[in-house]
Structure 1
Amino acid sequence: MSLRVLIAVTHLLGAGHLTRAAALARAFAGAGHETTLVSGGTPARLADLGGAEFVQLPPVRTIGTDFKTLLDETLQPVDENYLEQRQAILLDTLRSTRPDILITELFPFGRRVLAGEFTALIEAARALTRRPLVLCSIRDILVAPAKAERIAEAHERILRDYDAILVHGDPSLVPLEASWPVDEGIRPLLRYTGYVDENENAVPEAHRHGIVVSGGSSAASLPLYRASLEAARLVNERPWRILVGRGVSEEDFQALRGSAPDQAVVERARPDFRALLAGAEISVSQAGYNTVMDLLRCGVRSVLVPFEAGHETEQRLRAERLKRIGLADLVSEDELSGTRLAEAIRQKLAQPASPPPAVAVDGARQSVAIAESLILSRPALHPKIDWSPLNSALDRARDQGCPVRLWWRDDDAVAHTPALGRLLTLARRYDAGIGLAVIPSSLQASLATCLADESSAFALVHGWRHDNHAPPGIKKAEFGAHRPVEIMAAEAQRALDAARRQLGAKLLPVFVPPWNRISCELIPHLPRLGFAGLSTFTDRAAATPAPGLLQINTHVDPIDWRGTRSAVAPEQIIAGFAAAIERRTAGVADRNEPIGFLTHHLVHDEVIWSLCERLIAHLTARGVHFLSPDACFGMETGSHLRSNGI
């Protein structure tokens, strides 16, 4: 599959937005897609774009944090004719490239001063014979407008014009909600890609010695450079290297060089910055997106002085997140001095180094994969869904006093993967409990780590190895009626013990047989093995199939396993939930059994993800939430630990 991709970006202060957009262009081109990057900011040095075309618009820029006044290259305010020239080139590029995918960087979450040209671009794209997929590309942290109507306007544009939002961050470090008021309208459009790293080369091994100071590409870091030179006189037992961005004038640069102490080298920013950083004991910098990307990759201890002029909050929030995980200390701009900076550096030098956090940094390639998946599944991504059968079933249950209780089980987890991270983010987003049926023989330590802070996510025991022991021609089963019950009981015991060692209090003693099939001879043995719960598929025959064993099954599966292996038709999922509710309302099924939603995160494509989120969002809007599995199985106060002697 070869696609045509058009990426539009305008950076106004530093070059971080352009750098990130260039990394995306390079990734799309590297995947074989015909890619064009259009830049409307100040021309800047870019790494090889890997075959992507580059178009430079008549540039605009700003000074300081005055983002309302656009200036040209001579620092004169631009007029309407100048903006019309930009727009004409932008639209000509759209018509000549005829993109399958159009990506606008930051807009409509920002760049309101350029709303005219971005709106014209999107309207022209919508008018093309073949409308492109329209995506918004944003960094991990945004600056939300103070006025609610501007936020509402951005959301309105997103819902009207965009197919998805590529969030270039990792929600385990900082979710978008931390900086922007995400509502239930745009939430299903969010696609976390991980951080976009402009430099995908391996980080070189180096002996750590000395202090490296960097300040991005703009002149906003001059106070940091000056304070660093003062601090270098106080921390004079180590070499210093101060890298000055190209946005600093030659006069200021020479003044910095002239005031440097003997052990401090002042030079312009270098292409081998990451190698220098990998060999540093301490990094001193602001907290811009690309700088933090370098810090995460190199794992270097850091002192951050976030840019906060003009009430900017982005860098402060990012710096606080890095401080929370032990990678950085903070010095506020309003307290910045050589003495204060030297004090922070000495404190950081005295602390042991922390291992780099497990943060997703493959954002460029993941952005390509997400965009490709959206293109392939586009006809099915946003189907019109008739919710009326589900709504009617919910209304009848309410009128007849039948409580509708839901729970969510997801099978086959063994480790922290991007797909599992996405699943847990989705559950957290809607305050939904989730039970992860984990395969004990394959568990990795990363699973326990990612579950540790998830208050409503718990693990269940998904067999032992997830091996099929059924004879050929018989439906698959690991614990079916094909082996001696003594052997299966021993394996179930081994599975529970192994999972408990790895997961501790995050494991519930609930047995989930692979393929939802279990020998009736094994069930009575489960309580003596230490199990308190059992879960398969379809309505249960009895709440307690054995003394001390509570059975709660799943009932609706969104995957077309025998056909496309993508999502079943939306109406089939709606009918499944409506029927399960109706059976309880009519007394045909046990009304006390929660209705179970069964997913398999490792095989979800974009259609399945989208459909699951739309379903969960709809149920949440109706006031129906997914129970936490510990409450579902009556173990919410740690009774599953006490009953098993823990």
Structure 2
Amino acid sequence: MSLRVLIAVTHLLGAGHLTRAAALARAFAQAGHQTTLVSGGAPARLTPLDHVSFIQLPPVRIVGTDFKTLLDEAGVPVDDSYRGARQDLVLKILEAARPDVLITELFPFGRRVLAEEFMALVEAARALNPRPLILCSIRDILVAPSKAERIGEAHERVLRNYDAILVHGDPQLVPLEASWPVDERIAPLLRYTGYVDESESPPPQKEKQGIVVSGGSSAASLPLYRAAVEAARSLTDRLWRVLIGRGVPEAEFEALRRSAPAHVTVERARPDFRALLSGAELSVSQAGYNTVVDLLRCGVRSVLVPFEAGHETEQRLRAERLKALGLAAIVPEAELSPERLVEAIRQELPHASYQSPSISLDGARRSVAVAEDLALARPALHRTIDWSPLDQALDRARDRSCPVGFWWRDDDAVAATPQLDRLLALAGRFDAGIALAVIPQALETSLIRRMADEDRAFALVHGWSHANHAPAGQKKAEFGAHRPREIMTLEAEQGLHRARERLGPKLLPVFVPPWNRISADVIAPLPSLGFTALSTFGDRETAFAAPGLTRINTHIDPIDWHGTRSLVEPEELVAGIAGAVERRVAGKADPNEPIGFLTHHLVHDEVIWSLCERLMAHLADREIYFLRPDELLRNGNRITVAI
């Protein structure tokens, strides 16, 4: 599959936004997609854009943090004619490119001063036939407007015009909601990609550099440079290297170079910066997006002086998250002085050893993969689904006073992930109860924390380690008839103990054998171990011969496991759900057992996510909601169903 991709970016302060957009463009081009990058900010030096069509609009920029006043290259405020020429050129580029994928960088979460231009582009794209996939590309941390109506406006623009939001970050470091009020409407659109690294290759090793000081590409880093040169006078036992961004005027650069003591090298930013940084004993810098990616990639401890002028909060929040991980110290910009900087450096130098955290840095490649998946899924996402067989079955159940309920089980949860966030957001949107079958041996603290505030989400015990012990050629099983009963009983007990110990009241004592397969020899002792229910797949027997144990199964799985591993044919899925209802109406299945919907959030593609949402919406229109899993086990082991 080869796509035509158009990326639109306008950077106003520094070149970080353009650098990130260029890295995305290179990744799309390297994947074989015809890629056009349109830049509306000031011209800047970029790593070569091989096989990318680069178009520079008449540039705009700002001075300081005045984001309301746009200036041209000569520093003159732009007028309506200048804006109009830019907008006309943007629309001509769109018409010539006719993209399959349009990506707007930051807008509509920012760049309000250019909203007319961006909205003209988006609306023109929506009018194309076929309409391109429209994505928003944002960094890990945003600056939320102080006025609630502006946040609402951004959300409405996203919901009306965009297919997904590429969040170029890792929630393990900082989730988007730490800086922006993510609500249940836009949460399903979020796609965390990991951090976008302009150069994903490991940095070359360099001889020890002592202390390396760096800043962004704009003059906003001048206070840091000046403080560092003066601080070096008090720390003469190490070499210093101060790298000055190209946006700093030549006169300021020369003044810094002349004032530096002999053990301090002051020079312009270099293309081998990564090599210098990887050899540094300590880094002193701001906390911009690309700077933090450099620090994480090179594995160097740092003293961070986050940019905070004009009430900016982005860099301070990012710096605080790195400090919380034990990777950095912070000198607030308001407290910056040579003395304060020396104090922080002296405190950090003895702790210069660095343990790299498991933060995702392959954001460019992952962004391409997300766009490809969305583009492939697009026809299926909008496919009409005939719900009439299900509606007719539900009508018959109602007319015959046959109670029909639905419950939801999702398997293989171990940690808080973007996919889990999406799952829980979907459940919350439709007021659905959900049971997460968690793997006890792999259970991470992040999952425990994530579930804490989810009132309708509970955990079940999903075996022990989800390891397959079946002989080659046989169906997979962890608790099948392939191992001694004593070992399997011990592992089931360990699973319950570990999950209960870590999840507390969030755990329901329900055993879910991996692959839904379990030996009869293992079922019998489950009640004595503390389990009150067993959940597999298929209609349960009306008379389940296991005293003290309830059977609550799942019946519908939307994934084509033996074929595409995407969604089964919608007609087949609807027929399966309708058939489960009909069996209860006809007395061929236990009418007191709710119909179980089984999902696996970690492997869902866009088509499966869409089906889940559409099914819940359809049932909600009939006032049918997925039951709370804890309510399914109330009144002892008897399951009561009411809709």
TM-score by length of 1: 0.83
Q: Are residues 610 and 226 of structure 1, via their aligned partners in 2, closer, same or farther at CA, if it must alter by over 3 Å?
A: farther
2:380 is matched with: 380
- Partner AA of 2:177 in structure 1: E
Shift of residue 546, structure 1, vs aligned partner: 3.2
Residue aligned with 1:274, SS: helix
- Tell me whether 1:160 sits opposite 2:160 in the alignment: yes
1:426 is matched with: 422
1:317 is matched with: 317
Q: Are residues 252 and 387 of structure 1, via their aligned partners in 2, closer, same or farther at CA, if it must alter by over 3 Å?
A: farther
Q: Quote the Cα distance in structure 2 between the aligned partners of 1:50 and 1:421.
A: 34
Q: Quote the Cα distance in structure 1 between the aligned partners of 2:337 and 2:394.
A: 66
1:304 is matched with: 304
Q: Quote the Cα distance in structure 2 between the aligned partners of 1:342 and 1:364.
A: 37
Q: Quote the Cα distance in structure 2 between the aligned partners of 1:616 and 1:291.
A: 43
Q: Deviations over 1:548-578 (max 9, x none)?
A: 5454433332213455432246687678778
Q: Are residues 100 and 553 of structure 1, via their aligned partners in 2, closer, same or farther at CA, if it must alter by over 3 Å?
A: same
- Partner AA of 2:281 in structure 1: E
Q: Mapping of 1:374-523 within 5 angstroms?
A: 374-383=374-383, 406-411=407-412, 421-429=417-425, 434-438=435-439, 448=444, 450-451=446-447, 453-455=449-451, 460-461=462-463, 465-469=467-471, 479=479, 483=481, 487-493=483-489, 495-496=491-492, 505-506=501-502, 511-523=511-523
Q: Are residues 463 and 588 of structure 1, via their aligned partners in 2, closer, same or farther at CA, if it must alter by over 3 Å?
A: farther
Which range moves more in the overlay, 347-356 or 80-89? 347-356
Q: Are residues 43 and 437 of structure 1, via their aligned partners in 2, closer, same or farther at CA, if it must alter by over 3 Å?
A: same
Shift of residue 424, structure 1, vs aligned partner: 2.5
Q: Quote the Cα distance in structure 1 between the aligned partners of 2:336 and 2:629.
A: 47
Residue aligned with 1:66, SS: coil
1:38 is matched with: 38
Q: Quote the Cα distance in structure 2 between the aligned partners of 1:297 and 1:502.
A: 35
Q: Quote the Cα distance in structure 1 between the aligned partners of 2:579 and 2:187.
A: 28
Shift of residue 141, structure 1, vs aligned partner: 1.1
- Partner AA of 1:538 in structure 2: G
1:639 is matched with: none
Shift of residue 293, structure 1, vs aligned partner: 0.8
1:642 is matched with: none
Q: Are residues 261 and 542 of structure 1, via their aligned partners in 2, closer, same or farther at CA, if it must alter by over 3 Å?
A: farther
Shift of residue 205, structure 1, vs aligned partner: 4.2
Residue aligned with 1:281, SS: strand
Q: Are residues 115 and 387 of structure 1, via their aligned partners in 2, closer, same or farther at CA, if it must alter by over 3 Å?
A: farther
Q: Are residues 220 and 478 of structure 1, via their aligned partners in 2, closer, same or farther at CA, if it must alter by over 3 Å?
A: closer
Shift of residue 530, structure 1, vs aligned partner: 7.2
Q: Deviations over 1:145-171 (max 9, x none)?
A: 222222222222212221111111112
Q: Quote the Cα distance in structure 1 between the aligned partners of 2:236 and 2:542.
A: 76
Residue aligned with 1:170, SS: coil
Shift of residue 542, structure 1, vs aligned partner: 7.1
Residue aligned with 1:213, SS: strand
Q: Quote the Cα distance in structure 2 between the aligned partners of 1:130 and 1:223.
A: 51
Shift of residue 14, structure 1, vs aligned partner: 0.7
1:113 is matched with: 113
Aligned residues: 614
Q: Percent identity?
A: 63
Q: Quote the Cα distance in structure 1 between the aligned partners of 2:598 and 2:356.
A: 34
2:192 is matched with: 192
Q: Quote the Cα distance in structure 1 between the aligned partners of 2:591 and 2:141.
A: 45
Unaligned runs of 5+ in 2: 453-458, 635-643
1:644 is matched with: none
Please provide the CA RMSD for this pair: 3.9
Q: Are residues 339 and 532 of structure 1, via their aligned partners in 2, closer, same or farther at CA, if it must alter by over 3 Å?
A: farther
Q: Are residues 225 and 594 of structure 1, via their aligned partners in 2, closer, same or farther at CA, if it must alter by over 3 Å?
A: farther
Shift of residue 12, structure 1, vs aligned partner: 0.6
Which range moves more in the overlay, 47-56 or 567-576? 567-576
Unaligned runs of 5+ in 1: 635-646
Q: Are residues 579 and 316 of structure 1, via their aligned partners in 2, closer, same or farther at CA, if it must alter by over 3 Å?
A: farther
Q: Quote the Cα distance in structure 1 between the aligned partners of 2:619 and 2:233.
A: 62
Residue aligned with 1:262, SS: coil
Is residue 409–residue 598 contact of structure 1 (8 Å, CA) maintained in 2? yes
Shift of residue 63, structure 1, vs aligned partner: 0.7
- Partner AA of 1:86 in structure 2: R
Q: Quote the Cα distance in structure 1 between the aligned partners of 2:602 and 2:63.
A: 47
Q: Are residues 192 and 284 of structure 1, via their aligned partners in 2, closer, same or farther at CA, if it must alter by over 3 Å?
A: same
Residue aligned with 1:377, SS: helix
Is residue 436–residue 460 contact of structure 1 (8 Å, CA) maintained in 2? yes
Q: Quote the Cα distance in structure 2 between the aligned partners of 1:229 and 1:321.
A: 27
1:637 is matched with: none
Shift of residue 72, structure 1, vs aligned partner: 0.7
Q: Quote the Cα distance in structure 2 between the aligned partners of 1:183 and 1:583.
A: 39
Q: Quote the Cα distance in structure 2 between the aligned partners of 1:628 and 1:381.
A: 29
1:179 is matched with: 179
Is residue 280–residue 300 contact of structure 2 (8 Å, CA) maintained in 1? yes
Q: Are residues 582 and 280 of structure 1, via their aligned partners in 2, closer, same or farther at CA, if it must alter by over 3 Å?
A: farther
Is residue 427–residue 433 contact of structure 1 (8 Å, CA) maintained in 2? no
2:64 is matched with: 64
- Tell me whether 1:293 sits opposite 2:293 in the alignment: yes
Shift of residue 230, structure 1, vs aligned partner: 2.4
Residue aligned with 2:524, SS: helix
Q: Are residues 600 and 352 of structure 1, via their aligned partners in 2, closer, same or farther at CA, if it must alter by over 3 Å?
A: same
Q: Quote the Cα distance in structure 2 between the aligned partners of 1:342 and 1:582.
A: 76
Which range moves more in the overlay, 14-23 or 509-518? 509-518
Q: Are residues 348 and 471 of structure 1, via their aligned partners in 2, closer, same or farther at CA, if it must alter by over 3 Å?
A: closer
- Partner AA of 1:270 in structure 2: R
Q: Are residues 434 and 244 of structure 1, via their aligned partners in 2, closer, same or farther at CA, if it must alter by over 3 Å?
A: farther
2:641 is matched with: none
1:15 is matched with: 15
TM-score by length of 2: 0.84
Which range moves more in the overlay, 426-435 or 209-218? 426-435
Q: Quote the Cα distance in structure 1 between the aligned partners of 2:620 and 2:312.
A: 34
